[in-house]
Amino acid sequence: MFDLSEMKPEHFESLLGQALPIVDSPLAFTVGSVVRLKSPSPRGAPFSLSLKAPAHAQGGQGIYRLRHPELGEIEIFLVPIAPVDGVPMFEAVFN
């Protein structure tokens, strides 16, 4: 499993538009955007990750185990945010 403390915006920028299947589920999120955030923290490059959920999917905030060939399995805490053009969206913030 990938160490989340090692995650950088670059890990997801190359995945824009790609699916991140949810482990043990037929559903997948699609990488929607990666936004670099400004922070006084010396810990690295904070960023937010937005994921598009399938239109019919309904889920709440929580830890989701996702899989990608390049990243392997990663557990990310996701929070639902406002839909975009009727598409459910989720966000994770790495800082």
pTM comes to 0.88
- Residue 2 confidence (pLDDT): 62
Q: Extract the tokens encoding 58.
A: 């309904």
DSSP-assigned states of every residue in 12-75:
HHTTTT-EEEBTTSS-EEEEEEEEE---S-TT---EEEEEEPPTT----SEEEEEEETTTEEEE
Q: How many separate domains does the chain show?
A: 1
Q: Band the pLDDT of 4: cuts 50, 70, 90.
A: confident
Q: Which residue has the tokens 């937010």?
A: 48
* Residue 83 belongs to domain spanning: 4-94
Mean pLDDT computed over 72-95:
92
pLDDT at 91 over 80: yes
Q: Band the pLDDT of 36: cuts 50, 70, 90.
A: very high
pLDDT at 1 over 70: no
